[in-house]
Chains A and B, each alone.
Chain A
Amino acid sequence: MKRFSLLLQSEFKQFLTAPVVHLIAIIQPTLMYILMSVIMVVPTFEMRIVNPSSEIGNDFLAAVEEVGSPIGPDYIEPVLVDDAAPGYRQVVEILEIGEKPTALQRYGYIDSNLVKNLRNRLTASLLVLWNIELGDQGITIQEYPWLPNDIPYTVYFGMAMIPLAAYLAAAMIGGYLMAQEFESGTILTYRLCPTSPLLILAAKITRLLITALAAVVILYGTLGLITGVWSSSFLALLIILTPLILIASCIGLIAGMVTRSALPSFLIALASAFAFWLIGSGFGLAAGFSPVFEKISRLIPNTPVIEMLFPYFYFGRQVAAHPLGAKLQLAGYTITLSLVVILVYRARVLSKER
């Protein structure tokens, strides 16, 4: 135990050999999350409305302000303008066409997703304004909420980024430091030592596990502070992430041992982390995409992890198609890669040159 503890301490001191890589690996997902969820996601839309001069126009303005938001901020921020001159990316004008009150929405040069958002907001406002008047032809919405409370998308986005943070920290630091041992010649110390390779690898992986969990804690804290949503069990979250971190550690160490070069190892870790994030339910549950994509996504370890994390953020709702299957899949990956990393260590570090 004393030897393991010394090896572990020594592994942590390796931070000094690559502080920048550590900072990138640990902090990058959190910075990305802050950037994408706070700066780039704007829940309140500015809608330009021609200053109303009629009663129906004023009613429309009131209806716009009445449209609420499930996530807090105002859904629409009306910006009054004098006329509907070209140049605005969007402007609404309330007119009477053929004696019928009409909302005319004009668009400038904007992307289709923005058009969709602005159109949805106009529809919501008009429903507030005219739904009662439409009588039997009115649109009735019956809600059967899946969750007791609405949860903003930024929670899913952050939750799906937690596996990215865990994976990136473990794979990038593991691969880079392992390759650095070859580049600096310190690997010779391992080649000639009488200590069991299992103990050495256990210390390396434990250090990566702790480091990756630290990266998770930072992102999790940021997610909670930004959205106000916290996991119902932090311990469960750490337990669920542990197999993914072990998988990432093994992939990183294998990359380091196979390439024996720090830069390729760094890039392999980075590329695999982002590929796993994008394909592995990073922006929405795999089941919400095409069947082919879902099948591919389910091969990525991030997908079962996100499905297992989901209930802890979403009031216990299960989304995994096969909860036991997800666990078995992760266990299988972890065991297989643990065996592979031992074999690669024997082949690339310990074996005699023939």
Chain B
Amino acid sequence: MAHENAIEVRSVTRNFGNLVAVDNLSFNVGRGEIFGLLGPNGAGKTTAINLILGLLKAHQGDIRVLGFDINSQTRQVYHQIGYVPQETNLYQDLSAIDNLWHHAALYCKDLRVVKDRMEELLDFTNLWQRRKDPVKTFSGGMKRRLALARALLHDPEVIFFDEPTLGVDVQGRFALWEHIQQQREEGKTFVISTNNMVEADTLCDRLTILDHGQAIALDTPENLKADMQYDVVSIHTSPPIDDPEVLLSKYTVQNITRPQPDGLRFEMQSANTNTAELIKTISNNHQLDSILVARPSLDDVFLFHTGRALRE
């Protein structure tokens, strides 16, 4: 019987010396789900993926992939997972098709069907015409698509994709997202690690935000945004508002910033219900040129949970 969850992470901790890279991390990834690992640099995303892949040993906790223990049943797991690392580790001097043949020799159980599968995947990732060209002549997006095709070649159940569109242009990004969504529709499970909130919002069914090795939020993107108690308000006035803290003092606002000289951006509790009154307050002494009240984006959720301080 197929295991219900593709991945189960239970109270996993991993240290590097005194640094706790992953701290008591727990989550499940359902079959056929696209699950996102979000977090600032150094939050523990890559460490978490390496632990799930069995490349690192957890100091505490258990990890099961497709019902198999990653430490004691490694080979069963490796038959059923694909991995696209952040640094696209293709043989640059070999052709796309030679890279796939190499992968097939190492991973594919049934080598009789590999040729058809290869053609199908090269076609799917729009690389068929370039299959005989050396990978070093490919663009960043093409390399990522080839890496995805390679990870899918042995028809794995679960695919780990570290920063899927890092360094990829807009067209390449949309193409990759489309490929991932198509594969999910065919029942594949994806775990993606990303810093790109649009990507996470577009792709992920659920996601967890990691910070300092801990999962500080875990839900669907919609629920995470809905849980935010603030709306985002952007206004433009003439003359510019000199002292916004005083003007807005009767409202519950935070994070007031000035993106343009005549513009203000702030987070406001129940902005939708207070919009009319807010317009009136501002219009008393200023001409209100524009006002935009928006629900928080995933960026706002991310900043709310992880703060605005720069990470090294």
Binding site for B on A (CB under 8 A): 2-3, 6-7, 9-10, 13-14, 16-17, 184-186, 188-195, 200, 352-354
Contact = CB atoms under 8 A, between A and B. Distances in A.
B106 A189 contact: yes
A354 B57 contact: yes
Interface string B46-75: 000010011111000000000000010001
A13 B107 contact: no
Given A2-B111, A189-B103, A352-B55, A16 B94 contact: yes
A352 B81 contact: no
Interface stretch (B83-91, B198-206, B214-222): B83-91
B89 A188 contact: yes
Nearest to A9: B101
Given A188-B85, A192-B81, A194-B75, A17 B93 contact: yes
B91 A186 contact: yes
23 contacts: A7-B105, A9-B101, A10-B98, A10-B101, A16-B134, A17-B91, A17-B92, A17-B94, A184-B92, A185-B85, A186-B90, A186-B91, A190-B106, A192-B55, A192-B78, A193-B78, A194-B78, A194-B79, A195-B105, A200-B106, A352-B55, A353-B50, A354-B57
Interface residues of B, number: 30
A287 to B, nearest CB: 47
B118 interface: no
Contact of A192 (B53, B57, B104, B134): B53
A192 B158 CA distance: 13
B101 A6 contact: yes
Given A6-B111, A7-B106, 18 more contacts: A2-B111, A7-B105, A9-B101, A10-B101, A10-B105, A188-B89, A189-B89, A192-B53, A192-B55, A193-B107, A194-B79, A194-B106, A352-B56, A352-B71, A353-B55, A353-B56, A353-B57, A354-B57
Nearest to B54: A352
A3 B111 contact: yes
Nearest to B105: A6
Contacts of A189: 89, 102-103, 106
A195 B75 CA distance: 8
A9 to B, nearest CB: 7
A6 B100 CA distance: 11
Given A6-B101, A188-B83, A193 B91 contact: no
Contact of A186 (B55, B78, B89): B89
Contacts of A7: 105-106
Nearest to B86: A185
Contacts of B98: 10, 13
B102 A10 contact: yes
Contacts of B53: 192
B162 to A, nearest CB: 11
Contacts of B78: 192-194
A260 to B, nearest CB: 14
B138 to A, nearest CB: 15
Interface string B95-132: 00010011111110001000000000000000000000
A184 to B, nearest CB: 6
Contacts of B83: 188, 192
Contacts of B56: 352-353
A17 B105 CA distance: 19
B166 to A, nearest CB: 15
Given A6-B111, A17-B93, A17-B94, A191 B85 contact: no
In this complex, the member of B50, B71, B85, B91 whose beta carbon has the largest number of chain A beta carbons within 10 angstroms is B91
Nearest to B77: A194
A303 to B, nearest CB: 38
Contacts of B89: 184-186, 188-189
B201 to A, nearest CB: 29
A193 B94 contact: no
Nearest to B87: A185
A190 B102 CA distance: 10
A193 B103 CA distance: 9
Sort A-B residue pairs by CB-CB distance and give the 5 closest, nearest first.
A185-B89, A6-B105, A193-B106, A10-B102, A194-B78
A351 B297 CA distance: 42
Contacts of B94: 13-14, 16-17
A191 B107 CA distance: 11
Contacts of A190: 106
Contacts of A200: 106
